[in-house]
Homo-oligomer: A and B are copies of this chain.
Amino acid sequence: MKNTFYEIKIITDFSAAHHLRDFRGKCENLHGHNWKIEIVLRGTELNEIGVLVDFGEVKQATRALLSEVDHHYLNEIPFFADRNPSSENIARYLFERLAEKFDNDKLRLYRVSAWESDDACATFMRE
């Protein structure tokens, strides 16, 4: 079969406070969420053990990164000093940080999604 590939996805979460500046509506108030975070990586070949990458390794790296935002007030994080801590920007922030860590010649970060509630999700991704 041609043009096949593998994808792995892990899900984790963090809890934080935020408010959106200049937003017309209730999100302008100080409030908070549990964000559920999905990380998706892609590659065409498995390693000698038969996995694309160890789930545990991806979870650990993501949790280490999330510890910088978990149980914090997002508007005080430097990345959000000049842009709103919207779920779109949270997804982008995590994407940029995790791509540095995971991209190599066999593996690339494909998307990061941030669910701010059970019915609303923002994703930053590449083709």
- A interface, CB within 8 angstroms of B: 1-13, 15-18, 20-23, 25-27, 29-34, 46, 48-52, 54-56, 59, 70-73, 83-84, 86-89, 91-92, 95-96, 99, 111, 113, 116-127
Contact = CB atoms under 8 A, between A and B. Distances in A.
Contact of A26 (B8, B9, B70): B70
Contacts of A88: 6, 8, 46, 50-52
A21 B26 CA distance: 26
Smallest CB-CB A-B distances: 5 pairs: A32-B32, A50-B84, A17-B17, A7-B123, A26-B71
Contacts of A95: 4
A99 B1 CA distance: 10
30 contacts: A2-B126, A3-B126, A4-B124, A5-B125, A5-B126, A6-B91, A6-B92, A6-B124, A7-B122, A8-B88, A8-B121, A9-B122, A10-B119, A11-B118, A12-B119, A15-B117, A17-B31, A20-B50, A22-B48, A25-B56, A31-B71, A31-B73, A32-B33, A33-B33, A34-B118, A46-B88, A46-B89, A49-B86, A50-B89, A55-B120
